């Protein structure tokens, strides 16, 4: 498809060799640059009765017109049961989906009576446009529902009821970058699980210090850190490890500074984090068990102190998949879901990551003691799924970074929406001062 000159294209899907299994029609159209959404509500009056033992179960179907004259469904309302005078719930739709930013483009609305078997009965239709709808509730937005077949057969046919626009509210959708431009920033926190992964001097260890290439922990750390550090204003990252015996007395710690300075665990940039990580491998003794809750609670305490959303905390945990405090970790995540923070978990090594998948919560929202997480704040990916077969580590890291960071903008925006925090205006672009040179003659 040529994106400059969109055209209707047919594709034949060959599911069985030598046998045509169907046709897929692909219609392409360049998206307009429009970030508005509209919140609309409709009601109807005196619709045609379609059910023999009842009235009707009406719903609306909205169609956007395409450049080639065809129509594409862009929204369906819910069904309102057993009434000829329904009031549908307000719904939100992007202006792109409704008319692709073309305010005069035709919008067709069909009215149906719902049937259980899917053979919904057509009541009638009407057309409008975004420009007409934007007038809001008025005499201009009361539409006669017309059934063309009935109109052609019955001389006295007037309409099959009316549909009225009750409300029309325009909202401008803000993006992740709107907040970044307005001075909001991400606070990047690094936490590495060192426990139970063998001697770093041995090639069998996930922490093996290979002089020629990064180990799995190092590749995951650099892949994510090099991108996210550009959204952190000071590029000073607290880097913690857990699951080790610390010198000089060999005490077990599940939360210690990788740079060896508990009063100031911050490292400058991702290079500073990498340096602290490799230095720590030479000074500490890896030791289990592996507890996640302490480090989540550690970052949550900082996140809880930020009430205006000016900082959003991103916690990166790199793990071999072992977890010793599952119940406590679930509770920590549920509590943290109310705070301005997200958690990225990267699994390294060959282990099964069932526990990490559960923490991700994409299938079933994570809960603890009957309380569900307010938002989905955890993103888990197994690093082995991104390793390039040809051994290209740069490509592996790029693939990992793309997927692991994919959910952060939406998680950030979901927090801002729930809290009603709007982005601050972006500062004016910098204009260098003009120096006027004065000379004496």
* Burial degree of 299 (CB within 10 A; 0-12, 13-18, 19+): buried
pLDDT value of position 8: 38
Tell which wins on pLDDT, 188 or 46. Answer: 46
pLDDT value of position 385: 86
pLDDT value of position 30: 65
User: Which whole number is the average pLDDT over 363-373?
Assistant: 91
pLDDT value of position 438: 62
Residue 2 has pLDDT above 60, yes or no: no
User: Which whole number is the average pLDDT over 52-74?
Assistant: 90
Residue 391 has pLDDT above 80, yes or no: no
pLDDT digits (tens, 9 = 90+) for 80-106: 999 999 999 999 999 999 998 889 999
Between 197-201, 230-234, 400-404, the lowest mean confidence (pLDDT) is in: 197-201
Phi and psi at residue 421, to the nearest 5°: -95, 120
Which helix (H) or strand (E) element contains residue 189? strand 185-193
Confidence of residue 4 (pLDDT cuts 50, 70, 90): very low
Confidence of residue 272 (pLDDT cuts 50, 70, 90): very high
Residues 303 and 408: their CA atoms lie apart, in Å, by 16
Between 221-225, 229-233, 420-424, the lowest mean confidence (pLDDT) is in: 229-233
**∠ at Cα 215 (214, 220), nearest 5°?**
85
Question: Which residue, among 235, 397, 408, 244, has the nearest Cα to 316 in the 3D structure?
Answer: 408
Residue 404 has pLDDT above 90, yes or no: no
Confidence of residue 437 (pLDDT cuts 50, 70, 90): low
Give SS3 for 20: coil
Residue 163 has pLDDT above 50, yes or no: yes
**pTM of the prediction?**
0.67
Confidence of residue 67 (pLDDT cuts 50, 70, 90): confident
pLDDT value of position 5: 37
pLDDT digits (tens, 9 = 90+) for 224-247: 888 888 888 788 999 988 778 888
What mean pLDDT, rounded, does the chain reach? Answer: 85
Confidence of residue 12 (pLDDT cuts 50, 70, 90): very low
Residue by residue, DSSP assigns 33-60 as ---EEEEEEEEEESPPP--SSS---EEE
| Residue 82 DSSP code | S
Angle between helices 269-283 and 216-228 (to 10 degrees): 150
User: Which whole number is the average pLDDT over 391-419?
Assistant: 85
Return the number of other C-beta atoms located less than 10 Å from residue 38's C-beta.
20
Residue 24 has pLDDT above 90, yes or no: no
* Burial degree of 150 (CB within 10 A; 0-12, 13-18, 19+): middle
Q: Are 136 and 168 in contact (CB under 8 A)?
A: yes
Residues 279 and 273: their CA atoms lie apart, in Å, by 10
pLDDT value of position 195: 60
To the nearest whole percent, how much of the chain has pLDDT over 70? 90
Return the number of other C-beta atoms located less than 10 Å from residue 177's C-beta.
12
Tokens at residue 285, please? 């003794």
pLDDT value of position 77: 97
The phi-psi region of residue 106 (left if phi > 0; otherwise alpha if psi is between -120 and 50; otherwise beta) is: beta
Q: Are 136 and 167 in contact (CB under 8 A)?
A: yes
């Amino acid at each position: 498809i040529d994106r400059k000159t969109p055209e209707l294209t047919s594709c034949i899907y060959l599911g069985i060799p030598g046998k045509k299994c169907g046709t897929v029609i692909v219609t392409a159209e360049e998206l307009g640059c429009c970030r508005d959404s509209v919140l609309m509500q409709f009601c109807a009056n005196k619709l045609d009765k379609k059910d023999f033992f009842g009235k009707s179960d009406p719903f609306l179907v909205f169609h956007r017109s395409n450049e080639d004259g065809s129509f594409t469904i862009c929204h369906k309302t819910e069904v309102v049961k057993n009434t000829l005078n329904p009031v549908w719930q307000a719904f939100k739709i992007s202006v792109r989906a409704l008319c692709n930013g073309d305010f005069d483009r035709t919008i067709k609305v069909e009215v149906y009576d719902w049937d259980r078997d899917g053979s919904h009965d057509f009541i009638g239709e009407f057309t409008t446009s975004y420009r007409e709808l934007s007038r809001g509730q008025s005499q201009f937005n009361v539409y006669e529902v017309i059934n063309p077949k009935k109109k052609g057969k019955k001389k006295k046919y007037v309409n099959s009821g009316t549909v009225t626009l009750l409300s029309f509210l325009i909202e401008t959708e803000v993006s992740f970058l709107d907040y970044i431009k307005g001075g909001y920033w991400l606070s990047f926190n690094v936490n590495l699980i060192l426990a139970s992964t063998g001697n770093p001097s041995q090639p069998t260890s996930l922490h093996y210090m290979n002089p020629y290439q990064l180990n799995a922990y190092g590749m995951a750390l650099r892949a994510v850190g090099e991108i996210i550090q550009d959204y952190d204003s000071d590029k000073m990252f607290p880097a913690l490890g857990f699951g080790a015996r610390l010198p000089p007395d060999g005490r077990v710690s599940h939360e210690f500074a990788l740079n060896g300075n508990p009063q100031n665990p911050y490292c400058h940039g991702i290079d500073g984090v990498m340096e602290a990580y490799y230095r720590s491998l030479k000074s500490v003794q890896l030791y289990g068990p592996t507890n996640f809750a302490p480090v989540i609670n550690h970052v949550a305490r900082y996140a809880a102190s930020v009430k205006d959303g000016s900082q959003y905390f991103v916690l990166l945990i790199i793990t071999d998949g072992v977890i010793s405090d599952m119940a406590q970790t679930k509770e920590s995540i549920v509590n943290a879901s109310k705070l301005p923070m997200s958690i990225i978990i990267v699994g390294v090594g060959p282990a099964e990551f069932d526990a990490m998948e559960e923490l991700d919560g994409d299938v079933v929202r994570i809960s603890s003691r009957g309380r569900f997480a307010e938002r989905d704040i955890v993103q888990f990916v197994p690093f082995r799924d991104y390793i390039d077969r040809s051994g290209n580590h740069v490509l592996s890291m790029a693939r990992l970074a793309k997927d692991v960071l994919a959910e952060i903008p939406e998680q950030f925006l979901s927090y801002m929406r729930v809290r009603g925090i709007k982005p601050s205006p972006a500062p004016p672009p910098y204009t260098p001062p003009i120096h006027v040179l004065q000379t004496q003659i």
